Amino acid sequence: MLDPLPMPKAVASHTYQAQQYSSPFAPFFEEASLALAATAPTATSMTNIVCSLPISLASTVLADYPLEELSLRGILMNGQRRSALIYHPEGGVYPATVGQGVSQQPAEITDIKANSVQLIEYRADDQGCWQTHSIQLALWGSLN
């Protein structure tokens, strides 16, 4: 006859306190990547990589469409404040301001000029980080 197995040792339970530890959902290499980027030579290719998305992916009308389907139709100015009028494929024009996220791909408006809008687009890379790309939406005929 076989002897019974010994009782397993009790394991202490643990309550996760978010302010004490890193996020369980962040990539495990995020801190190492940031440390590497901080010590690496400052090359252009290194400065446009971020490992956490700096913009909110709030649901707006413009977030439902790819960037290629959006176009700039006008600029509204009220003193120093500017809003871009961005056309979406369903036939509507939506006002957007600096800092607002647009497009299905994460993109953020960084500047609104008299005839164009500057955007930063975030594209996921194969390491769980984001590469930034500068994009411009211009009024038709305003760029030569």
* Domains (range + CATH), the chain: 30-138 (2.30.30.830)
Q: Are strands 130-138 and 49-50 parallel, antiparallel or unpaired?
A: antiparallel
Q: How far is CA 5 from the centre of its chain?
A: 53
What pLDDT, on the 0 to 100 scale, is given for residue 38? Answer: 42
Amino acid, res. 121? E
What pLDDT, on the 0 to 100 scale, is given for residue 58? Answer: 59
What pLDDT, on the 0 to 100 scale, is given for residue 26? Answer: 56
What pLDDT, on the 0 to 100 scale, is given for residue 5? Answer: 86
What pLDDT, on the 0 to 100 scale, is given for residue 40? Answer: 40
> How far, in Å, CA of 25 to CA of 57, rounded?
17
What pLDDT, on the 0 to 100 scale, is given for residue 144? Answer: 45
What pLDDT, on the 0 to 100 scale, is given for residue 31? Answer: 42
Residues of the chain with pLDDT under 50: 28-47, 144
